[in-house]
Structures are given as structure tokens and as C-alpha cells.
Structure 1
Amino acid sequence: MNISDRMRRRRMINRERRAIDRAWQSAPTQAMRDEINIMAQRRPF
């Protein structure tokens, strides 16, 4: 894996983490937040 691939992967991971964070903050209930947490933990970063 070269440097540009690593940088691209890091950007993608950061973008996914921000999206998960936005979804978690906008979730209307604690149950939805729990589901988002479970899905986020299963993500292969």
C-alpha cells in the first residue's frame, strides 16, 4: 500500500466517522443511538 492509498483510506475513514457522528447526534431516541453504535462498531476500519 503506497502513501496515496493510505491517505485516501484515511480520508474515507474520517468521512465515515463524521457521518456516523452526525447520524448519532440527530437520532431521535436512545434506541436509535444504540443501533447506530452497534453498526459503527461492526464497521471494518
Structure 2
Amino acid sequence: MSTIERIRNRRIAKRDARAIERAMTSAPTQSMRDEIAIFSQHRVF
């Protein structure tokens, strides 16, 4: 894997983590936060 690919993958992973964090904080119910948590645990970063 090239350096450029590693940097790109790290940026994508950080962007996804920020999106998941925003979804967690804006979820109106605990059950939705639970679903987001399950989804994020199954993501491959």
C-alpha cells in the first residue's frame, strides 16, 4: 500500500468516525443510538 493510499484511508476513516459521532449525538432515542453503535462496530476501517 502506498503512502498516498494510507493517508487517504486514514482521512476516510476519520471522516466516517465524525459522521458516526454526529449521528450518535443527534439520534432522538436510545434505540436509534444502539442501532448506530451496532452499525459502527461492524464497519471495517
TM-score range, shorter chain: over 0.9
Q: Structure 1, unaligned stretches of length 5 or more?
A: none
Q: Which runs of 4+ in 1 moved over 2 A?
A: none
Which residue does 1:34 correspond to in 2? 34
Instruction: Give aligned pairs, total.
Output: 45
Identical residues among aligned pairs (%): 56
Please, what is the CA RMSD of the aligned residues?
A: 0.3
Which residue does 2:4 correspond to in 1? 4
Deviation at 1:37, TM superposition (A): 0.0
TM-score between the two structures when normalised by the length of structure 1: 0.97
TM-score between the two structures when normalised by the length of structure 2: 0.97
Q: Structure 2, unaligned stretches of length 5 or more?
A: none
Q: Partners in 2 of 1:27 and 1:18 — Cα distance?
A: 14
Question: One-letter code of the match for 2:8?
Answer: R
